[in-house]
Chains A and B, each alone.
Chain A
């Protein structure tokens, strides 16, 4: 089924305040889009994780926030892009529990569980792109 993009907006992530700003915008859009409270919290939390990673690990980047539909379902797609150091071992990071900042290392692996579609493209020196889509249910 073809994916239709119904709206698209981009936001910079260069300061910590931008992480909070992106999270707020995602929350507002999810609510407008008819997400229930659980799905809204899931998507917003994932947005917060990815935005913070782009800021902390990637040295800043940007978020694209899109309303999408595929004929049957309505959802929100988020793209986080940075030009930071990239991730050498994606498998290891996605397994969870790996962190270079002595945190829990649950941001990426946890976000993957919160969304319906999750794609990551990252390699050393090329930066990181993470694309997630969530439909209206938890």
Chain B
């Protein structure tokens, strides 16, 4: 891992908490670390916890959405968790839709959502 944001393996998923303010260098390192961790572990899910972010501007939102898309290309589904009430209200007021990213209240809900998605996908495979 190269960057400041640690990535942990939790069962079939990766869990990462964005606890620092993102800038271009940190964002690049974070995305590369996530992708390499997916390759190394074969994780099928990625939970990004943003509960320690006081604000999410369009730059940070784009970094997070891009990370989810990159992980998706490698077969890992991303759930963004822990968004604070004031952050959600601010993004919506700005007209930001956060399209293409699934969200859940907290880490537990995010992991549960990934498990549901996996079992639905599994049922489709065997059907």
Is B86 positioned at the interface, with any CB of A under 8 Å from its CB? yes
Q: Number of contacting residues on A, CB 8 A?
A: 27
User: Which residues from chain B contact A103 at a C-beta distance below 8 Å?
Assistant: 58-59, 62
Near B by CB (< 8 A), chain A positions 16-37 give: 16-17, 19-20, 23, 27, 37
Instruction: List the 4 shortest-distance A-B pairs measured between CB atoms, nearest first.
Output: A110-B94, A41-B86, A48-B57, A38-B86
Query: Known contacts A17-B23, A20-B21, A103-B62; is A41 also within 8 Å of B94 by CB?
Result: no
Minimum CB–CB distance for B58 against chain A, Å: 5
Instruction: Give chain B's interface secondary structure class.
Output: helix
Is A9 positioned at the interface, with any CB of B under 8 Å from its CB? no
Q: A48-B57, A106-B58 are in contact. List 13 more A-B contacts (CB 8 A).
A: A38-B89, A40-B86, A41-B54, A41-B87, A42-B90, A42-B93, A44-B54, A107-B58, A110-B93, A111-B94, A113-B94, A114-B93, A138-B89
User: Which residues from chain A contact B62 at a C-beta distance below 8 Å?
Assistant: 103-104
21 pairs of residues in contact across A and B, judged by CB atoms under 8 Å: A16-B24, A40-B86, A41-B55, A41-B84, A41-B86, A42-B90, A45-B90, A48-B55, A48-B57, A49-B57, A49-B58, A52-B59, A103-B58, A103-B62, A104-B58, A106-B94, A110-B58, A113-B94, A114-B93, A114-B94, A138-B86
* Interface residue from B23, B86, B95 paired with A110 (Cβ < 8 Å): B95
